[in-house]
Structure 1
Amino acid sequence: MSGIKFFESTAQIFNVAVHGGLVGLAGLFFAIFMIGWSLFKIFKSKVPDLDSESVGIASSVIAAVIAMFFYPFNLALIFTFYSLLALFVLTFWDREKKTYDVEKKASLSLISSLGFIGGLILTLLGVYFVSLNYVADLKYVKALNQTEIKSAMDYVIEAINWNEKDDRYYRLSSQLALNLLSSELSKPQADQKAENVQNYLSSAVALAQKATQVAPQESNNWNNLANVYQNLMQLVNGADALAESAYLRASELRPGDPSFHNRIGSMYLFKADLVRQLMVAGGASAQQLNQQVGAALLKSEDAFKQAIELSSNFGLAIYNLGAVYERQNKLNEAIGQLEKIAPFNSNQAGLAFELGLLYYRANQKGKSFEQLQRAVVLFPDYANARWYLALIYEERGEIDQAKEQLERILSIEANKDNQIVLSKLSELDAGKVSIPPGKVLDQKPL
C-alpha cells in the first residue's frame, strides 16, 4: 500500500481544495453562505411560508453540504448536489422578484450588452478548449489501445499537438520512445542505425523532462524521468546520478512513500552487478572496478535502509537489502533480512530456495536442507531446488535419495534431455561420488 497514490481524499471539501484551489474553495463557501443566508431570512420571518416540497429540498441541500465534510463525492453525487442546489434556488429565491428595464437606462443596457458579448466569447472559448482536450484524449486512448509501438507513438504525438499541457501524454510518449530504442538496440549490429538510436534516446529524455516542466508538482513525472535515466545507464555515463536526483525529487513530493528509495537501491544494485560482469582478473582495472562495485553496493544499502525506515514492513526493500548483504558477503545479515519476511511469504518457493542457499553458505546445513525441502514441497517441479537437494544428499552419502531427486528433474518435459543431470545420474549409478563436503554450491544451477 505504501507505493499507491490516492487521487481522492476522505472528504469532498478537500477534493475541492486540491482540484479547484483557493478559487474553487471560495466559490463553494460562497454558495454555502448564500444557502445559509436564504434559510436565515426565511426562518427569521414571523410566519415562514414553507410547503412540504420546500422543506424536503432544503433538508436535502443541508444534508449534502454536511456530507461534503465527511465523504468524497463521485460524479453521480456531484451531479445530485448541483441539481439540488438549482432546485433550492428556484424554490427559495423565486419569492423575491425584481424587474429591470434595460431600455430605460443606457448604462444598464450597455452593461447587459457587454455582459452578453463577454459571456458568449467565454462560452465559445470554453467550447474551443474543451473540444481540443476531447480530441487529444481520443488520440491518447487510441495510443493506449495500439499493439504496435510506432502506431502508438504517432497517436500520442497527435495528442500532444492538440493539447500540449497534459503531462500524461509526455509520460506515455517517453516510455514509447524507450521501447523504440530497445527495439532498435535488439537488432543485429549491422542493422542498427546510429541515427535512430540517438533520436530515440534524446526523444525519451526530452519528453520525460517536458512532463516535469508541464506539471512539476506531479511525482509521477519525476518518477518517469528517473525511470528513463535508469534505462539509459548502459548507454550514458552518469545516468544513474540523474536518475537518483529525479527519484529524490519524486520522494520530496510524496515524502511518505518508500518506493522511490527502493528504486534507487535497486538501480545501484543493478549497477553493481553490471560492473561486476565487467571485472577482469588482476590489474589496476580490476581493482578500480571492484571499488565501483563496493561504492554502488553502499549506495544501494543506504537507499534500502531509508525505504525500510519509512515503512518497516516494506517486504521488497527488506528482501533487496538482504540481496545487498549477500553480495557484500555478509551472510548472517542477509539471512536475517530474509528471515524477517519469510513468515509472511510462507508460500513462496523461490524465497525458501534462496534462504536455503544462504544457510548452506553460512554452514547452517540443517536449515539449508529444510528450506530446500520446503521449496520442492511448495513447487514440486522446482528443478534447481531439487538439483541442490540432490547434491546435498550426495554430500551426506544418501545416494538413493539423490538419484530420486535427479530422476524427478528428468521427469519434467523441459529437462528430460538435460546433459548435466543425465551425467550426474550416470555417475551415481556407477557409484562415483564427486561432491566433497562443503562444495555443493560450487556446482552451477541448471
Structure 2
Amino acid sequence: MKIYIYFTILLIASSLIVNWFFPAYAWRITKELKQELAVKEAAVKANPNDAVTQFDLAVTYAYTNHLIDGMKTISRIPELNPKFKNQAIATYVEEVTAKPADWRLRFRLAFAYYFNDMKTLAIKEFENVLKLDPYNVWAYGYIALIYGEMGEVDKAIAKTRAGLTIDSNVAALHLLLGEGYIKKGDSWGGWKERLEAVRLKSLGF
C-alpha cells in the first residue's frame, strides 16, 4: 500500500513539474468550430424534435470535446425518429459523394455506420477523415474506441498512442489508453493513464 502512495505522490509531483516548466498545449476549440457549434445548437433550439438536426449537433459535439453532451443528444434520436438510423447512411453517403473532401461530412457518415453496427465501415470512414485532416485527434480516438469494442485491444492502444503523439494532453485519449492497458492486464499503466485523464480534465482539456 505504501508503495502505491509513494508512486501516486511521485506521479502527481512529476506532472506538476512538467506543467510548470512546459505548459500544456492541449487541443483547444477554434473560433471556426465555436461558430459551427453555435449554429448547430441554434438549429436544435429552433427545431428540437428534428432527428437530423439532433444528429448533426451530436456529431459536432463529438469533434469539439463535448463528449457527454454528444451522447445525451444522440440518445434522443431514436425516440424522435426510429427510422433515422437507417436513413442516415443513405443521406451521408450522398453528401460525402458530392463533397468528398469535407471531413465533417465523413465524420457524420462514420457515425451513421457506427450506429448501424457497421463498425468496420465506420473505422474506414474515420481513416478517411485522417487522410483529409491528419491531426484530427478525435478521429484517432473514435477508431480506438471502436477497435476496443471489437475486442482488438492492441489496435485500439496503437491508435490511441498515435493520437497522443499529435497531442499528449487530450484527456479522453488518456482515458481510452488506460482502459486498453487494463484490458491487457496492466493495472498500474491503466491507473496511471486514468489519473492523467482526470488531471487534464480538471485543467479543462
Same fold (TM over 0.5): yes
- Call closer, same or farther: CA 1:411–1:322 in 2, change over 3 Å: closer
Q: What TM-score results when the alignment is normalised by the length of structure 2?
A: 0.60
Q: CA deviation at 1:303?
A: 2.1
Q: CA deviation at 1:369?
A: 0.7
Taking only aligned residues, the RMSD between alpha carbons, in angstroms, comes to 3.4
1:232 to 28, 46, 50: 46
Alignment of 1:169-188 (within 5 A): none
Alignment of 1:166-315 (within 5 A): 231-234=45-48, 240=50, 267=53, 269-270=55-56, 276-277=75-76, 289=79, 292-293=81-82, 295-315=83-103
CA displacement 1:335-369 (0-9 Å, x = unmatched) = 11111222332212111111110111222222111
Q: Does 1:366 align with 2:154?
A: yes
- Call closer, same or farther: CA 1:275–1:393 in 2, change over 3 Å: closer
For the 8 Å contact 1:268–1:299, the answer to whether it is kept is no
CA displacement 1:244-288 (0-9 Å, x = unmatched) = xxxxxxxxxxxxxxxxxxxxx952635997584387xxxxxxxxx
What SS does the corresponding residue of 2:121 show, helix, strand or coil?
helix
- In structure 1, distance between residues paired with 2:181 and 2:199: 19
Partner of 1:375: 163
What SS does the corresponding residue of 2:129 show, helix, strand or coil?
helix
Q: CA deviation at 1:414?
A: 1.5
- Call closer, same or farther: CA 1:233–1:373 in 2, change over 3 Å: same
What SS does the corresponding residue of 2:87 show, helix, strand or coil?
helix
Amino acid in the other structure paired with 2:46: L
Structure of greater relative contact order (alpha carbons < 8 Å, 6+ residues apart) = 2
For the 8 Å contact 1:269–1:297, the answer to whether it is kept is no
For the 8 Å contact 1:268–1:297, the answer to whether it is kept is no
For the 8 Å contact 1:390–1:403, the answer to whether it is kept is yes
- Call closer, same or farther: CA 1:413–1:335 in 2, change over 3 Å: closer
CA radius of gyration, larger in: 1
Partner of 1:335: 123
CA displacement 1:9-61 (0-9 Å, x = unmatched) = xxxxxxxxxxxxxxxxxxxxxxxxxxxxxxxxxxxxxxxxxxxxxxxxxxxxx
- In structure 2, distance between residues paired with 1:308 and 1:413: 33
Partner of 1:184: none
For the 8 Å contact 1:304–1:321, the answer to whether it is kept is yes
Partner of 1:286: none
- Between Structure 1 and Structure 2, how many residues are aligned? 152
- Call closer, same or farther: CA 1:414–1:266 in 2, change over 3 Å: same
What SS does the corresponding residue of 2:76 show, helix, strand or coil?
helix
Amino acid in the other structure paired with 1:386: H
Partner of 2:172: 384
For the 8 Å contact 2:144–2:157, the answer to whether it is kept is yes
- Call closer, same or farther: CA 1:266–1:345 in 2, change over 3 Å: farther
Q: What TM-score results when the alignment is normalised by the length of structure 1?
A: 0.30
